[in-house]
Amino acid sequence: MSCMLTYAIRNLPASSAWAARGFVRPLSCSLPLQAAVQPKSKKTLAKNGVKNVVVVEGVRIPFLQSGTTYADLMPHDLARAALQGLLNRTSVPRDVVDYIVYGTVIQEVKTSNVAREAALGAGFSDKTPAHTVTMACISSNQAMTTGVGMIAAGQCDVVVAGGTELMSDVPIRHSRKMRKTMLTLNRAKTLGQKLALISKIRPDYFAPELPAVAEFSTSETMGHSADRLAAAFAISRLEQDEYALRSHTLAKKAQEGGMLVDVVPFKVPGKETVTKDNGIRPSSLEQMGKLKPAFVKPYGTVTPANSSFLTDGASAVLLMSEEKALALGYKPKAYLRDFVYVSQDPKDQLLLGPTYATPKVLEKAGLTMADVDVFEFHEAFAGQILANLKAMDSDWFAQNYMGRKSKVGAPPLEKFNTWGGSLSLGHPFAATGCRLVITAAHRLKKEGGQYGLVAACAAGGQGHAMLVELYPQ
């Protein structure tokens, strides 16, 4: 299958023109933060008999490279900071919140239900239930849509959703042999039994089990899969570096222009107050070209420069039914409309979730790509983004792999991730989804659009897409 995909897609129309039409244009067409444009008048996506669910506000603490300022904290510390930032910005009474849902990927065993621990730490009522979800890089998307379901079903009026990830301190386990010995030793009753067990310990028992960003079903790392995907779609190293440079350049402009208003400051205990993301580093194609392949050596094209980096961070959004938000005196930012989750082959289509999810969510809403004003896609790797754009613009791929009559079409880059993306802003696995949604809402307001499309891939060959509609101004 992989060989057929590689052969066929290499013969698709070349997409290297993306650089010419997209690398410069978004830099010049981004609107100033202060210039909120009057949105276009289109139909609303409201449905009869279905409650309108709105995003009242969304925040995140600064996303930092792992091993930096957050290194001595725990995941619930980051989540607590995001929740406190949300409370400070909205002044929502804590006892009004009916439920809290949080996502996380690399779980800290001491706080397995990190949603509950973070909520208690942030001062929410101990009567407010909270649970934790995990769905790889779309964990906070799952947290949000869980909240949407609760509100739409009439079970709740106010839900806080979010995600947290701390890659600076991931669980490292003893080997299984050592774990088994230690558990058995705990049950030993006599000194003789204990000494007998200890005598069986061998040097290899002490080899730790290190976590890896690899698929359990295929044992392949995501970076290796991204490299194969880029090769299958004939995406060059230069194209990937150009796209990564675009992401960093746009993120830097957005940061300096005050557009990243979802970021709230975080006073790290015993350290300084962190106020901005620290992974935004525009470089040059010359410097990026000097880096060696990170996964497929020596001829791969995925490098540290065109990949998202390990990141610590947390995010939170306040969701309400429209009626409740208005009753409490809030002006919502956006409606959360149709959404879908998809799954496909984790071996050869691990990172193609947006390609599969986008046409499905558009069909549910009765929209086309031309109706969408803002696109916010998760950038795991530059090659992954470019492969998705190429697949979305291919009739052949749609017909042979998706069972569709025709392509959905690629998003125009002047509407695509124009405030940067995960390559530059960072990617705390479970926190990115909330960032995508709130950024889409902010961009819709500033750029005068009505519909935003959020999409992301995830481990396991899964994916997600959601439509965000600007709340009437």
Residues 6+ apart with CB under 8 A from 177: 202, 204, 205
Q: How far apart are CA 227 and CA 299, in angstroms?
A: 10
Nearby residues of 401 by Cβ (< 8 Å), 6 or more positions away: 5, 349
d(CA 50, CA 129): 24
Exposed, middle or buried, 216 (CB in 10 Å: 0-12/13-18/19+)? exposed
* Two structure tokens written together for 346: 């984790």
- Residue corresponding to tokens 């961070």: 313
- Using the Cα atoms of residue 86, residue 88, residue 90 and residue 96 in order, give the sign of their dihedral: positive
Who's near 214: CB < 8 A, 6+ residues apart?
220, 221, 222
**CA gap 366, 372 in Å, rounded:** 11
| Strand ranges for 137-246 from DSSP E | 158-165
Cα dihedral 167, 168, 170, 173, rounded to 10, equals 150
The answer to whether 116 and 130 have CB atoms below 8 angstroms apart is: yes
The active-site residue, picked from 3, 137, 156, 434, is 137
Residue 356's identity, in one-letter code, is: Y
Active site residue 29: no
Tokens 């440079």 map to which residue?
245
Say which residues have a Cβ less than 8 Å from residue 284's Cβ, sequence separation at least 6.
245
DSSP state of 63: P
Active-site hit among 3, 29, 434, 457: 457
* 137 carries an active-site annotation: yes
Which pair of tokens denotes residue 231? Answer: 């090769």
Tell me which residues are annotated as active site: 137, 457
